[in-house]
Structure 1
């Protein structure tokens, strides 16, 4: 039986509806002194890579120390603007119920996310989705540039085998990262990638969203989606 669910956050459990980009821009300016005119690709990418590539678009070379200052600034911006995030963003339909049902089923849950840990914690706290997340088992944007390595790290922290885990995410990057560690994937087309793109990436199962929580729990257990 599956022992661990590895959740993605953005567009899987929540949607910040543009607030996230605004907070990134504020943190970028606080860190570099430059206006973030363009932002690098973000879907399925870790925060360290997003910062580095975004800086390049502004003609700026950065190092690890710059990223660490940016990560601290980003966490600070999320704390300062938590009320705005709560007002303008939202938990995605079915997210809270899915977390509750999986917890009731005795399945441990954590996150594998490109967000740095403090931001991940704030985002889920703001929308009341943090109660069943085992944060110390997760893997975050400051842990490694490559999402595939984050899955491996979470498995090590949780001390479970790939066969005993499931990744739930909304991007082809989630699918590819899971499969690099031989972990099964339940993809949800609640982000920018549609069901066809997620199937093309190799997802074993694709759902339109998290609304059918009983089906999701059945799929986590390894049941037939039919």
Structure 2
């Protein structure tokens, strides 16, 4: 029986219209004093990993203190520029309807994301998606380095066994993380990865989008 639905955020529920990188660059400069020249690969990664690799590209030693200060700065810049996020970004088509339909069925929902928690909360609130989610049961960039670790943390917080959970994401890393953690994976081809590649990565189901609410519900609650 389905007890928990876990959602990735970026390119699964929403898009930031390119603002995300600007906010990241602002926080990076704030904590390192260096202008961002190059950012490490972000797709399917977590903020801790992205910061560590980006710091290396800039010759900056990585430490837990650096990450904590960066996480605080990144959350604060999201709060400060939330209005701009609302103007430039958007919830993906169908996302709110699927979240609402699951909530109406009494299904508990949360997020598993590489975003730091405050940034995730701002994004979800900005596009009106937070009311459907039990964010205390989620897992965030502060909680680990990879999707499997984050998924296991979310399952533990929700006190739900892996077979009773479903994870939705848009990258091969999401699919691999879900399989590693033992949860069923519904991939959504709304990011940069084609549907065929998500299927090859091992997703149980691949949706082209969330626009067909009934189709999405059938895939999630199967």
Q: Check whether TM > 0.5.
A: yes
Q: Per-residue CA shift, 1:102-130, capped at 9, x if unaligned? A: 00111000000000111100000001110
Q: Which residue of 2 aligns with 1:66?
A: 66
How far apart in 1 are the matches of 2:65 and 2:56? 16
Q: Residue 55 of structure 1: CA displacement?
A: 0.9
Q: Per-residue CA shift, 1:39-91, capped at 9, x if unaligned? A: 00111101111111111111211100001000100011111111110000000
| Structure 2 stretches lacking a partner, 5+ long | none
Counterparts of 1:157-176 in structure 2 under 5 Å?
A: 157-176=157-176
Counterparts of 1:19-58 in structure 2 under 5 Å?
A: 19-58=19-58
Count of aligned pairs: 222
How far apart in 2 are the matches of 1:123 and 1:16? 9
Q: Which aligned runs of 4 or more in structure 1 are off by greater than 3 angstroms?
A: none
Q: Residue 220 of structure 1: CA displacement?
A: 1.4
Counterparts of 1:1-226 in structure 2 under 5 Å?
A: 1-222=1-222
More helix by share: 2
How high is the TM-score relative to the length of structure 2?
Answer: 0.98
How far apart in 1 are the matches of 2:212 and 2:113? 23
CA RMSD of superposed structures (Å) = 0.7
Q: Per-residue CA shift, 1:154-204, capped at 9, x if unaligned? A: 111111111110000000111111111211000000001110110111001
How high is the TM-score relative to the length of structure 1?
Answer: 0.97
How far apart in 2 are the matches of 1:80 and 1:146? 28
How far apart in 2 are the matches of 1:221 and 1:75? 33
